[in-house]
Structure formats: C-alpha cells, structure tokens
Chains A and B, each alone.
Chain A
Amino acid sequence: MRRLALVVLAVFAATYAFAQTADKRRSGYADMDASVQKMQDDDTANPAMLWVQEGEALWGKPVGSANLACADCHTPARLGGMAGVAARYPAWSPALGRAIDLEGRLQLCRTLHQKGPALADESRELLALTAFVARQSRGQPVASPDDRRLDATLRSGETLYKRRQGQLNLSCAQCHDDNAGQKLAAVTIPQAHPTAYPLYRLEWQALGSLKRRLRNCLIGVRAEPYPYSAPEYVALELYLAKRAQGMKVEAPGVRP
C-alpha cells in the first residue's frame, strides 16, 4: 500500500516536472532588455504606476447620479477586494448576455451601478481604473474561467487568431505561434501573451490597453482595425487568456 503510494507520488512528480519543462510559453518580458525588465519590476521606476495611483484616487471618488464610489460597494465586507479579479477576465456577463473584458466590466459598474456615463475608450480614466484593478492580480496565475457560456466566444477568438487578414495577408498565428522568437527586422516576435496589460509602452509614451496593442498588430498587416467596441477584441482577448492559462499576471507591465 505504502509502496504503491510512493510509486504514484513518483509518477506524479515526474509528470509534473515534465509538464513544467515542457511548458514553452514565455512572456514578452523575457525578450526585453534587462533595463526595461527592471523598469517593470521596480514600482518606483515603472511609469505605469502613475496610472495605478490615479486609479486608486478614482476608486474612492463618488460618481454618477448614484453618487457612489467603487470603494462604496467593493468593500471587503460586501463584494470582496479586487485581488485575482483581472486574472479571470474576459468573463461572462449575465447582465449583458455576452463575454466582456475587464474594461467592459468597469464600464458596466459605471453605467449600471454608479449610473454615470461610460468612460471613453482608451481614456486616461478607464486605463487608470483598469491598471489599479489589474495591479491587484499581479503575480497570480491567469485563471480564465471554465465556463461553457464562453465557448462560442472562445471559438470565434481562435478563428480570428488563425485567419489571414490585411494587405500582407497574415494571421496572428503565423507570427505569434509559427515564428515566435524570430526576428521581424529588429524586433523579436513575442508569443503574444496578454499577461502584462494594460502596460506602459515606451514607444507610446503612455499606458495602453491590450486592444490598443491588437490594433497595432492589425495596422501592421494593413488590416482595418476593429472599432474599440467590437466583440472581436473580447473574443481574441479570451483566446489569448486561455493560451496563457496559469502564466503569471504582470500588469501593469512595460514594453519597448
């Protein structure tokens, strides 16, 4: 009996170790210069922390005709904190009957609960609040929900990811799966993990959302970027989250 248990344990340990070494996934972080990595790791050097601080201030500010702050409802005693929340998005919204990403979730609280106007896409306020919420999942594993209601969205995300598009006629998969690690001119093609978003991009000189990053890639292949409100982004974001399941959340990250 004891021996069997040991064997089982050994087999389990071996499989586990194998699974660990077989995991070829790597964050874009791993391809960055040490100086940029340090910027991401050090809160006092990470420019994204400015947005996090702004988000924290907004979190406590009453808004809308309900005159409620996020902090009024999201107390540890009532709805719990935000730790681990960003790691689960995109998720299903029963209120809307569709998948939403973290920004969509925040907008829902804005309109439904605070009864205020939705924030503009990619606005400083929306990015700041998203960064503040996402920061609280830093270090946690991506935990995309196992929810049957998301299946159709996930499938459409995978289809979009594998579809050639634009004048250059390239799919996301052709760069990020088939050629990750290779050089596109001077740039190492990353595996496209969404773990660090929203992030500060040195090229943007600003914080930007995952959608903004996806738009950059679409523009790069000379495809028409979807409008910010398009369900295609949520579908792609969900597919990327599933691919990154279990990887560490780095938000808010830094990229060149």
Chain B
Amino acid sequence: MRAWPLLAVALLACPVPSHADEELRSFLIVGDAIPDTLTGKPGDAARGRTVVATRQQGLCLLCHSGPFPEERFQGNLAPSLAGAGGRWSEAQLRLRLVDAQRLNPDTIMPPYYKVSGLQRVAPAFAGKTLLSAEQIEDVVAYLATLKD
C-alpha cells in the first residue's frame, strides 16, 4: 500500500552504498549501445537478479514487472522485464541502464550510471551513481538471461 514513501524512508535511513569513492568508469557509446563492459569482465547474473528484485537496490520493480513471484508489488509504468534479453543485446541493455535518456529524451527510467546533469540531488546521493559499475554488469548479465 505505502511502498513508495516507505521506500524513500528506508533509502534515507539505511547507510547508502557509496559508489562515489569509485571513479566513474569511462565508456564508449556506439549507436544505441555500449559494446564493452564497464568493468572489463562479465557480470554475475545471480547477483544481478538480486539487484533487480530488491526494490531498495535497483528500484526496477517500482516501474517494471517481471519474473519475480516473490515480489508481490510490481509497477506497471514500464514494459515487463520478461524477454528483455531476447529483445536487446547486452550492449544495448548496458546503455539503457547507464543512461536511458540517451535512447528516449522523455523517459522516466532513471539514469543508473550518471552523476552529471542532475538537479538538486539530495546531499546523501550527490556525486553517486544509482548502481556501481559492477552492479550494472551484474544486472546486464541477468537481463540477458531473460530470453522469453
């Protein structure tokens, strides 16, 4: 019922995983994709699933639904994540996560690996990315397994 504000409170109360101490990795956008991993190695799909399914981490299920029978409340502001790995390549999924506005300027999907160009970010989150480079790769690896 009150998942959204509770979530906000939970997010502020928990120690925020700091992705600031880590320099933003550089990456190259080619067309609608980022071909190379941000970390130089493939991600871990199992960890990626946890990021996506845990609302406090990924926030994905605020907007998306997907194959997560254990999560009772899933959003309907966005397409289901089921089949995402069939529709998109890992490189395309990577850009989608890093900065979805590059694909759709009006998107509501937050930029998960971006710190510049944002306005009035709360001090606890300023200069930090929503997910770390490793988490991005884990989520990409997980989404790639969602073939149908």
Q: A167-B130, A170-B108, A220-B4 are in contact. Are A184 and B119 (CB under 8 A)?
A: no
User: B124 — nearest CB in chain A belongs to which residue?
Assistant: A222
B55 contacts across to A, CB distance below 8 A:
185
Q: Mark B116-132, 1 if CB is under 8 A from A, else 0.
A: 00111111110010100
Contact B4 A185 (CB under 8 A): yes
Indicate whether A39 reaches chain B with its CB closer than 8 angstroms. no
Contact A182 B76 (CB under 8 A): yes
- Min CB–CB distance A73 → chain B (angstroms): 39
Tell me which of A170, A202, A219 has the highest count of chain B C-beta atoms within 10 A of its own C-beta.
Answer: A219
Q: Mark A210-234, 1 if CB is under 8 A from B, else 0.
A: 0000001001101111000000000
Q: A220 CA to B6 CA in the complex, in Å?
A: 9
Number of B interface residues at 8 Å Cβ cutoff, please give it: 36
Partner among B2, B61, B75, B110 whose Cβ is within 8 Å of the Cβ of A168? B110
Indicate whether B46 reaches chain A with its CB closer than 8 angstroms. no
A220 contacts across to B, CB distance below 8 A:
4-5, 7-8
Contact A185 B119 (CB under 8 A): no
Q: A186 CA to B4 CA in the complex, in Å?
A: 8
Contact A165 B120 (CB under 8 A): yes
Indicate whether B39 reaches chain A with its CB closer than 8 angstroms. no
Contact A185 B75 (CB under 8 A): yes
Indicate whether A164 reaches chain B with its CB closer than 8 angstroms. yes
Contact B7 A186 (CB under 8 A): no
B122 contacts across to A, CB distance below 8 A:
166-167, 219, 222-225
Contact A174 B75 (CB under 8 A): no
